[in-house]
Amino acid sequence: MKTTSLSHSSGPMRMVAQLYALTKPRVVQLIVFCAVIGMFLAKPGLPDWRPLVFGTLGIWLVASAAAAFNCLVEQKIDSVMRRTSWRPSATGEVATPVILAFSGVLCSVGMLLLYTQVNPLTMWLTFGTFIGYAVIYTVLLKPATPQNIVIGGASGAMPPVLGWAAMTNSVSAEALILFLIIFLWTPPHFWALALYRTEDYRKSGLPMLPVTHGSEYTRLQALLYTLLLTAVSLMPWAMHRAGLIYALCALVLGAVFVSYAWKLLRNYSDALARAMFRYSIIYLSLLFAAMLVDHYLPL
């Protein structure tokens, strides 16, 4: 079972720590990071401070609300999985009405900030992302199909589009390329996790691909997606929207990701699957960071 600092808290601070844990901080950090990169890439020069600050805060609040709602919906599933059984929603330490109210307040405040301080388009796109993740993916797709993470990945790929819209009040082709990169990154990222957590998912009853189609098929799909991802990651350079710095970084980062997937297909181990999962997070962070560097230091 995962250990956290929650056990060392008491009183009001314990409740604060429990609610914070329900927002899945590490996941939300990556979401907000990608949204902020989208803000910086949307226009030449430095972004305006108001949509940068309030857009970041609003997206962070709504993403946190979606994560808390996800914990609420999946509390029974989380309780039988070693990776998630520690969550306050799964243990029953935080009551359902509290989680629902907490999620509702975060979502409402976040959308209000986006509507009044950024623009209505960003608010509606962010709310649509909330519905896509918290309802369409979590409630409908995840328990129904092994392609849940592929289809549901659309909501997870939205952050750079939200950031772009916050700055420009529009969605351009460049923003959609960023969306496509994360969309293609999502399946191998989650399948690597599902491979070394297969028994957890089997116990939960969720039809994740390793459970329904086996390990070898999942590993093959992960390899194919990493190959496609690497090709698509070069689109900004091919369309003259990024320079040599980004292109070289995309090639190197993609080659490492593909090598992990290839090794996983040829000679599976839980340790290798875990390493690929961890690298996938590093890959996306460095790829978007390379876009930012290239944006201000083009070659």
Q: 172-210 pLDDT, tens per residue? A: 999 999 999 999 999 999 999 999 999 988 988 889 999
Q: Residue 82 pLDDT more than 90? A: no
Other Cβ atoms closer than 10 A to 138: 22
Higher-scoring residue by pLDDT: 231, 86: 231
Please give the structure tokens belonging to residue 137.
């993916």
pLDDT recorded at residue 59: 98
Other Cβ atoms closer than 10 A to 53: 14
pLDDT recorded at residue 9: 52
Question: Residue 101's Cα: distance from chain center in Å?
Answer: 23
* 43 and 167 Cβ atoms separated by less than 8 Å: yes
Q: Which domains does the chain have, with CATH numbers?
A: 11-170 (1.10.357.140), 172-299 (1.20.120)
Lowest mean pLDDT across 46-55, 143-152, 262-271: 143-152
Higher-scoring residue by pLDDT: 259, 139: 259
Predicted TM-score (pTM) of this structure: 0.92
Q: Residue 272 pLDDT more than 90? A: yes
Q: Residue 8 pLDDT more than 80? A: no
**CA nearest to 23, candidates 61, 54, 56, 59:** 61
CB burial of residue 274 (10 Å; 0-12, 13-18, 19+): middle
* 78 and 94 Cβ atoms separated by less than 8 Å: no
**Separation between Cα atoms, residue 49 and residue 24, nearest integer Å:** 27
pLDDT recorded at residue 214: 95
**CA nearest to 50, candidates 160, 176, 169:** 169
Other Cβ atoms closer than 10 A to 128: 14
Q: Percent of the chain having pLDDT more than 90?
A: 78
Lowest mean pLDDT across 26-40, 112-126, 168-182, 192-206: 192-206
* 291 and 244 Cβ atoms separated by less than 8 Å: no
Give the model's confidence band at 6: pLDDT under 50 very low, under 70 low, under 90 confident, else very high.
Answer: low
Per-residue pLDDT tens digits for 276-287: 999 999 999 999
Residues sharing a CB contact under 8 Å with residue 131, sequence separation 6 or more, in sequence order = none
pLDDT recorded at residue 141: 87
**Separation between Cα atoms, residue 204 and residue 200, nearest integer Å:** 6
Stretch 261-288: mean pLDDT: 97
Q: How many CA atoms lie within 13 A of 211 on its CB side?
A: 20
Q: How many CA atoms lie within 13 A of 213 on its CB side?
A: 14
**Separation between Cα atoms, residue 13 and residue 10, nearest integer Å:** 6
Give the model's confidence band at 12: pLDDT under 50 very low, under 70 low, under 90 confident, else very high.
Answer: confident
3-state helix, strand, coil in the chain (%, to 5): 80, 0, 20
